[in-house]
Amino acid sequence: MTHTERPLARTALPVDLDEAAHRCLVAGFEGTTAVPDTLKRLIDRGLGGVILFTRNVRDAEQVRRLTDTLRALRPDLLVGIDNEGGGIGHLVAAGAPEVPGSYALGVVDDLGLTARCADALAGHLAALGITASYAPVADIQRQAGNPIVRTRAFGTDPDLVSRHLGAWIAATEARGVASCAKHFPGHGGTVTDSHHELAVDPRPYDELDLGPFRAAIAAGVPMLMSAHVVFPALDPNRPATLSRRILGDLLRHELGFDGVLVSDALEMKAIADLYGEAAGARIALAAGADQVIVAVPDLGVSLECRDAVLEALRDGVLGEERVREAARRVQRLVERYATPAVMVTAWDAEAGLEAARRAVRGHAVPHAVPGAHVVDLFPAPHPALNWGGEDLLTEMLAVDPTATGTAVAGEPDDPDGVVEEILTRAGGAPLVVATCDAGLYPWQARVRDALVARRPGAVRVATGLPEGTAMCSYGRGKANLRAVAEALSAAGPHS
């Protein structure tokens, strides 16, 4: 379906209210150099921000030119991106610092090191002209079957998570970049990925994971992002993103947050399939959100959301003061963060690899296996999260050119055939079998177990959360995998 801008059939809103409504929208778009005309018109009317993705990134110089071009259209435009570290980020092609991701940082539990990693990511953003980072994750990894939080969280302990959130937020703030703790009031207690369907956290109120969000607010986090999750203990009828009880009564009044509350992307199926993006935008703003994100590059979806908000304002369904209040919060945010630093000091490019090494080597590490045949089993990349092509074999070859291996991304059509092919390729070489959250992906466990049954001496590695006694990287970022490769090959400074 092709979306086009349609003229407004009814009386136009006052200019200042129209601009306030546009302030409440963050839009994704296609392109690396030219700004689409539709986006230019949205920016001209007051668009609050844009969100960049891998599709907008070719290299560092190009990204900086793009952000400069966007700000030339409107200096107070917020330019943001998801930038969690580990395998979750969109700036691989722009030379992003290699940071292992939150769970590994929690395993090391060195707040200074977490701050150095966050500083590296924020410094890189500032150098690119990006001044809003939709990170860190404040969720706690509660459910073994949770498919979406996992190593994106700092851990399973609320106090540990809270400490590292504070370190991350402070380091990001020091770079003049806005951080955003997510996903309020927590996505770690679900067994569903809200990208694919509505998620529910059935726990009673006193068991919900509000502590890290309280800590983030106390640390001065300027933004929070809502979860598309239903919490029956708080509101049995609507997900947090659309709930006045959660965003208003809980977040604003009980927790006292007065920064910008931004929705997770409205095209996620938890919202799009049950409400539609346009209705989701209107309901979220009425419930207390200050900005709604439409991350898909089809600007027609952003226009539909914008038009639904304007229509609701004209009909009185959405209160003018609610939108003006949201716009004032956004304006305070952009006044503080929209302009990137002129000079960006260097960051510690080695902090991430140091953290990854310490996470791996502080726990079960087998004897070195130089010349191994490395089998890397992992799920197909998540469609909403970037994957820069990292795999364990590539990192092994970088430190041990005698290694061989097989990378299997996603469930193979013939698992038994894959097992036989791997064993043939391996010959007499030592075997390393890596899995990533095999408990969620039974095909990995079947392939792994078949290989280990045939080769009982195989070294097992987990590249997600820990799996029994397997050596664990606590994430699949490049730094995580390099640290594992060094340990397996006896390379690197700590061998």
CA 13 to chain centre: 36
The residue written with tokens 């920064």 in the block is: 259
* List 18, 193, 235, 264, catalytic entry: 264
CB-CB neighbours of 6 under 10 Å: 9
Tokens, residue 306:
């914008």
Do residues 425 and 404 touch, judged by C-beta distance below 8 A? Answer: yes
Burial 449-475 (b: 16+ CB within 10 A, else e): ebbeeebeebbbbbbbbebeebbbbbb
Q: Where are the beta strands (DSSP E) in 291-414?
A: 291-294, 373-378, 404-409
CB 190 within 8 A of CB 210: no
Q: Report the DSSP beta bridge partners of residue 26.
A: 49, 293
Which among 489, 485, 431 has a CA at the least distance from the CA of 463? 485
Residues 6+ apart with CB under 8 A from 106: 153, 154, 155, 160, 161, 164
How many Å separate Cα 412 from the centre of its chain? 27
Rg for the chain, CA atoms, rounded: 23
SS3 90: coil
Among this protein's residues, is 391 annotated catalytic? no
Q: Strand pairing of 223-226 and 260-265? A: parallel
User: For the stretch 205-239, what's the b/e string if a residue is b when 16 or more beta carbons lie within 10 angstroms of its beta carbon?
Assistant: eeebbbbbbbbbbebebbbbbbbbbbbeebbeebb
The residue assigned the tokens 């949201």 is 326
365 vs 359: CA distance, rounded Å: 11
Structure tokens at 331: 């304006």
Contact 451, 423 (CB under 8 A): yes
Q: Which of 191, 176, 265, 283 is nearest to 225 (CA)?
A: 265
Q: Let me know if 367 is a catalytic residue.
A: no
- Among 22, 90, 187, 195, the active-site one is 195
Q: Which residues are designated catalytic? A: 195, 264
